Structure 1
Amino acid sequence: MINVIVADDHPLLREGVKKVLTEQSNSIRVIKEVSNAGDLMNALSEEEPDLVILDITMPNRSGLDAMKDMQDIHPKIPVLILSMHPEDRFAIRAIKAGAWGYVNKSSIGEELVKSITTIVKEKRRYINSKVAEELARQIGTPSDQLPHHALSDREFQVFHRVASGMKISDIAKELSLSVQTIHTYKTRLKKKMDLKSNADLTRYAIQHNLADLNVE
């Protein structure tokens, strides 16, 4: 039996994951579900699963931050990222950060069991065709790669939210950082990307399919 923990702040998504696993597999079970990074770490201290299904955007600490916490304390537990964001936005960044796979929520019914089995049973990363295509595209990018590739994970999180129209105060609250810290990240990322204004950030994000009308 493959035991998994689901970490996502949307109850309906957690229910959807359990339903898919129940209907499509008799060898995978959800032993616990949590809604934030803190509860995830508490759950892992009580019982170690074979895999964690993790959302990228959660309250207080992002999925990428939670995954880094896991790597320090539970380095042998693989993480499968399950996100609403398209593969070309976060997949390669997540895999470089240590994720064993990346599945878009829109294809949860088709890929979830396959990805879990690949990671836990076959002991290899799950790379679907969209992630492979994005990986090939980034590898094939010249040395003067797109400016957003040079951003740190935190800078990219701030960039994505600013470009999607979120207020600085809301970004600070969601990422559990001060308003001044968000301003600092915004100043830094603008300098790295050689952009001057929020409008420039939004224009760039739209041009490269990096913005959402609503941030997850």
Structure 2
Amino acid sequence: MSEKIKVLVVDDHAIIRKGVIQLLRDNPYDVVLLDISMPGEHGIDVLIKIKDLKPNLPVLMLSMYPEDQYAIRSLKAGAAGYINKQDALSQMVIAIRQVSTGRKYISSELAVQLAENLTHQNHDLPHQTLSHREYQTLCLIASGKKLSEIAETMILSAKTVSVYRARLLEKMKMRTNAELIHYAITHHLVL
């Protein structure tokens, strides 16, 4: 019999937690399965903290967001892989097995996106140049949140959020929240 591996499932939706636990009950793994969007702290921020504490622990990001929005950001922050909640459960098992052996997991769609990015490195979209916090600020502005609400969501001061907003406006060569919102809607950055 192979060695048992533990999985820590971190998701704010009970049905997802229970479903994943049921799926993996007979095949335990040493992996953190982390939801990217939870109340309170953002999943990428939690990922960074986990990697600081346990750098060798594989973390597989689980999200309802399309890969083009958070997969690369997650991998850059230290995730071992990224899987969409809409993917088949069998794909989740494959991803967990792969990252539990120390390898990275990316879907075939993400592999295509990464390959295309390599050939078009100088043609990044403006939002792809943003830091994680700037991108998070962009998405929250585009979802209609006020500065004070964004600060509360990100667990930051309103002044710090204002700095992120100013930086992302400058990087994206925009002047107003309306331009940011239009951009985010056009590029499907808001669900």
Q: Fold match, TM over 0.5?
A: yes
2:28 partner letter: I
Letter of the 1:153 counterpart: H
1:168 aligns with 2:150: no
Q: Which runs of 5+ in 2 are unaligned?
A: none
Secondary structure of the equivalent of 2:188?
coil
Q: Which runs of 5+ in 1 are unaligned?
A: 30-49
Quote the residue 1:3 is aligned against: 6
Are 2:93 and 1:90 aligned? Answer: no
2:48 equivalent among 45, 68, 74: 68
Work out the CA distance in 2 between the residues paired with 1:69 and 1:142.
29
**3-state DSSP of counterpart to 2:133:** helix
Residue identity in the other structure for 1:104: N
Counterpart position of 2:36:
56
TM-score by length of 2: 0.91
- Pair 1:15–1:167, CA change in 2 (3 A): farther
1:106 aligned to which of 86, 99, 110: 86
Deviation at 1:92, TM superposition (A): 0.9
Distance verdict in 2 for CA 1:8–1:133, change over 3 Å: same
Q: TM-score, normalised by structure 1?
A: 0.81
Residue 203 of structure 1 aligns with an amino acid whose one-letter code is H
2:27 — aligned with what?
27
What residue is the counterpart of 1:32 in the other structure?
none
Deviations 1:143-179 (A, max 9, x none): 2421111111111111111112222222222111122
Corresponding residue of 1:211? 190
Q: Give the Cα–Cα distance (whole angstroms) in 2 for the partners of residues 160 and 198 of structure 1.
A: 11
Identity %: 43
C-alpha change, 1:75 and 1:183, in structure 2 (3 Å) is: same
2:170 to 191, 203, 212: 191
Count of equivalent residues: 188
Q: Quote how far apart the aligned CAs of 1:124 are.
A: 1.1
